[in-house]
DNA sequence: ATAATAGTGACAATCGTTGTCATGATCGAA
DNA sequence: TTCGATCATGACAACGATTGTCACTATTAT
């Protein structure tokens, strides 16, 4: 095997093993320990963070910031990748903020001048906007870590009703419209609930006594469908004007299908839980004249009531 | 210089030059042409897409998909980068869709097994959601290209009033809530306007007679502030409940500052163009009891009127 | 035709790589 | 303490890879 190939494979191998001795590698690669030593020194010079300890039980170690085998990207791929991480800059909080920034600058730095020029030209001409939020999300890494390792966390949660302390086991975290959410099994309610991460004011490992529940097979793509069946459902029918379609896709897109006609208008036809009627009432009021609810009657009633209340407020004020 | 170093530099050099002859390179690197030929063959085998033509004015060329010098990422950086481009998968339309996908799979493919495992574990546990849209955005690349190269495009635009044909010069494109927008200088209105990309039904190079205007210095970050001064402004004051804050940040965050008090409530205090009163009226109606507008009177009047209309509609229906 | 270019094969000179050996240093365990 | 496991370094000869040179072919624009 040629030296350069051996170096590549060596890099992958040490990344895989994390801890190893010179002899081991020499056997594995069929070369002498002396050669391996020379190779390791070269890897070191190439930036692989190696650390060695002498003595029995000593050996080599790769420090935690492992270096991946270099990947060659085409120019187009690099540009795409650049803008992908560029898009994340709008997030003040990320589970891996600093890494994302350093990857971005590494990219930028290593690129040949003319590609950099091209990126510079495009930088201010493509963007993925995310609403800027004042809310703080200090525990994203902890929540994600707990989700991956299936651990229970004890959190301080500031809900509308006041601050409470509860044990949860996160399913995962996701950002939507610039806010972070965390669906998690709540040991208090004994079901999966959605938490807003900015309301989580504290998070630490729960008591060892708290046994994790089995959330294998439950993840971000399917937890919503695992809703408890206790709910009572009512049937929603609404007619949508063209202006209303995007707003419905925005807020309801993942819960129901939005039917669109040729002329741009559309309609909704779906079952919704009775408990969410207030939410829907307010939502359709917000759509104004672009939407009109046909059913259920409970919803139209509620809309009327809410409209009257609002109207009273605004009439009271002006008089 | 060692062979491997020379190969690296060669890769960068050919990427920079795009077109070159063997002799040139031989001179530049101080080796014989024979060696360069051997090196180029190796680069070729390593995936650099080289193409050669014999004869006078012949020579080597790098095909358009240039390969960048390999960049070594740490594990954490790779994970961050992976999730950045993972986040883009929600977009059905992107100005560089296929490249983004191939970069993602290249990443995944070249990663050592255990990092891949780690990513697999996290894949379903972190997400950046974007509303799924049915709208189509077929001309993103064309718009972006025109923005970068400062070209004029002739587009077919389907606005509320019907389809029209106009010449525009894009400032850039951006995605917000899953929809793509394109601020552009409109030669019809003679000012910068915001176009929704899904309403652009056709796009092609405009007449050569259309002279591009100078949009240097105007880009996505500043075009909004270049609004024509013709507008009439009114002063908005509104009181916000805690629930209303996120929705205001979402929709108004980039136009005005949202003041937040200790207790979670907040207020708005900003100038808005009179022409947008209907938009604001509807917006505050959508906030329901969580917001109340104090001023301007025109706005509260409008809100009252709209509420009455809505109420009539819903009362008419139920009777 | 001519000149400019790529492409290949052969060979010897050169240079880099490897294994072996000797030596040293450090550390943990017996 | 001594012993063995480990990293670390230097010297050198054997080996193998790389390089330059030369001779030759093939293609093409002028």
Domain membership flag for residue B70: no
Could you tell me which of A138, A207, A211 has the C-alpha nearest to residue A173? A138
Among B38, B62, B86, the domain boundary falls at B62
B19 CB and strand C closer than 7 A: no
pLDDT at B163 over 80: yes
Tell me the nt nearest to B58, Cα to C1': C5
Domain membership flag for residue B286: yes
| Cβ within 8 Å, pair B289-A313 | yes
Chain A, chain B: beta-carbon pairs less than 8 Å apart: 319
Are B214 and B171 within one domain?
yes
A45 CB and strand D closer than 7 A: no
Domain membership flag for residue B193: yes
Are A212 and A145 within one domain?
yes
pLDDT tens per residue, range A164-198: 999 999 999 999 888 899 999 999 888 888 899 99
Are B243 and B302 within one domain?
yes
Are B203 and B249 within one domain?
no
Helix axis angle for B22-29 and B33-45, nearest 10°, is 110
DSSP lists the bridge partners of residue B67 as A74
Q: Mean pLDDT throughout A130-152? A: 89
pLDDT of residue A319: 44
A61 CB and strand D closer than 7 A: no
Domain membership flag for residue B203: yes
Interface test with A, best of B65, B263, B314, B316 (most A CBs within 10 A): B314
Angstrom distance, A5 CA to C21 C1'? 27
Are B181 and B203 within one domain?
yes
Give how far B36 is from chain A: nearest CA, Å: 18
pLDDT of residue B319: 43
pLDDT of residue B213: 87
**A317 band by pLDDT with thresholds 50, 70 and 90:** low
pLDDT at A207 over 90: no
**B55 band by pLDDT with thresholds 50, 70 and 90:** confident
Are B286 and B208 within one domain?
no
**A67 band by pLDDT with thresholds 50, 70 and 90:** low
Domain membership flag for residue B305: yes
Burial (0-12, 13-18, 19+ Cβ within 10 Å), A176: middle
Among A177, A193, A226, the domain boundary falls at A226
pLDDT at A117 over 90: no
Residue B216: closest CA among chain A residues belongs to which residue? A121
Domain membership flag for residue A162: yes
pLDDT at A15 over 70: yes
pLDDT of residue B67: 67
Could you tell me which of B193, B99, B80 has the C-alpha nearest to residue A87? B80
pLDDT of residue A281: 82
pLDDT of residue A229: 58
State the CATH number of the domain containing residue B284. 3.30.70.120
Domain membership flag for residue B249: yes
Are B90 and B116 within one domain?
yes
Please, are residues B88 and A84 in contact by the beta-carbon 8 Å criterion?
yes
Q: Given the structure tokens 């010098």, which residue do they identify?
A: B69
Are B151 and B201 within one domain?
yes
Domain membership flag for residue A134: no
Are B238 and B309 within one domain?
yes
- Chain B hits for A303, Cβ within 8 Å: 314
* Strand arrangement, sheet containing B19-20: B19-20, B59-62, B50-53
Give dist(CA B49, CA A72) in Å, integer.
12
Q: Domain of A9?
A: 3-62
Question: Rounded to whole angstroms, what are the CA distances from B111 to B69, B78, B185?
Answer: 17, 9, 45
Are B219 and B242 within one domain?
no
Question: How far is C-alpha B3 from the geometric centre of its chain's CA atoms?
Answer: 42
**A51 band by pLDDT with thresholds 50, 70 and 90:** confident
Are A145 and A220 within one domain?
yes
Q: Which residues have C-beta within 8 Å of that of residue A204, sequence separation ≥ 6?
A: A153, A154
pLDDT tens per residue, range B92-112: 899 888 788 888 888 788 777
Q: Does A215 touch chain B (CB under 8 A)?
A: no
Beta A126-129 vs B19-20: how paired, if at all?
Answer: unpaired
Report the domain count for chain B. Answer: 4
Among B226, B261, B276, the domain boundary falls at B226
Count of H-run helices and E-run strands, chain B:
10, 14
pLDDT at A292 over 70: yes
Angstrom distance, B12 CA to D16 C1'? 29
Give dist(CA B171, CA B159) in Å, integer.
19
State the CATH number of the domain containing residue B17. 1.10.10.10
Q: Does A65 touch chain B (CB under 8 A)?
A: yes
Q: Does B69 touch chain A (CB under 8 A)?
A: yes
Burial (0-12, 13-18, 19+ Cβ within 10 Å), A163: exposed
Are A214 and A281 within one domain?
no
């Amino acid at each position: 095997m040629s030296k350069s190939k051996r170096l590549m494979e060596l890099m992958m191998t040490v990344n895989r093993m994390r801890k190893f001795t010179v002899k081991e590698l020499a056997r594995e690669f069929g070369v002498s320990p002396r050669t391996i030593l020379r190779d390791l020194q070269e890897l070191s010079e190439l930036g692989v963070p190696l650390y060695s300890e002498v003595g029995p039980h000593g050996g080599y170690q790769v420090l935690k910031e492992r270096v991946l085998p270099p990947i060659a990207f085409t120019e187009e791929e690099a540009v795409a990748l650049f803008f992908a991480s560029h898009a994340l800059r709008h997030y003040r909080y990320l589970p891996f903020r600093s890494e994302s920034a350093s990857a971005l600058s590494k990219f930028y730095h290593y690129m040949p001048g003319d590609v950099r020029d091209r990126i510079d030209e495009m930088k201010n001409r493509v963007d993925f906007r995310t609403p800027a939020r004042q809310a703080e999300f200090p525990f994203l890494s902890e929540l994600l870590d707990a989700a991956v390792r299936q651990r229970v966390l004890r959190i301080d949660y500031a809900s509308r009703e006041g601050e409470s302390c509860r044990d949860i086991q996160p399913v995962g975290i996701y950002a939507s419209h610039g806010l972070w959410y965390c669906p998690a099994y709540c040991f208090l309610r004994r079901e999966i609930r959605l938490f807003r991460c900015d309301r989580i004011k504290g998070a630490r490992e729960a008591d060892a006594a708290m046994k994790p529940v089995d959330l294998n097979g439950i993840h971000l793509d399917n937890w919503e469908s695992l809703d408890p069946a206790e709910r009572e459902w009512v049937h929603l029918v609404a007619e949508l004007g063209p202006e209303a379609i995007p707003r419905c896709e925005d807020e309801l897109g993942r819960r129901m299908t939005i039917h669109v006609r040729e002329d741009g208008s559309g309609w909704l036809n779906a079952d919704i839980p009775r408990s969410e009627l207030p939410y829907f009432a307010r939502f359709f009021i917000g759509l104004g004249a672009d939407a009109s609810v046909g059913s259920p009657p409970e919803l139209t009633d509620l809309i009327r009531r809410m409209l009257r209340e609002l109207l009273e407020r605004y009439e009271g004020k002006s008089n």
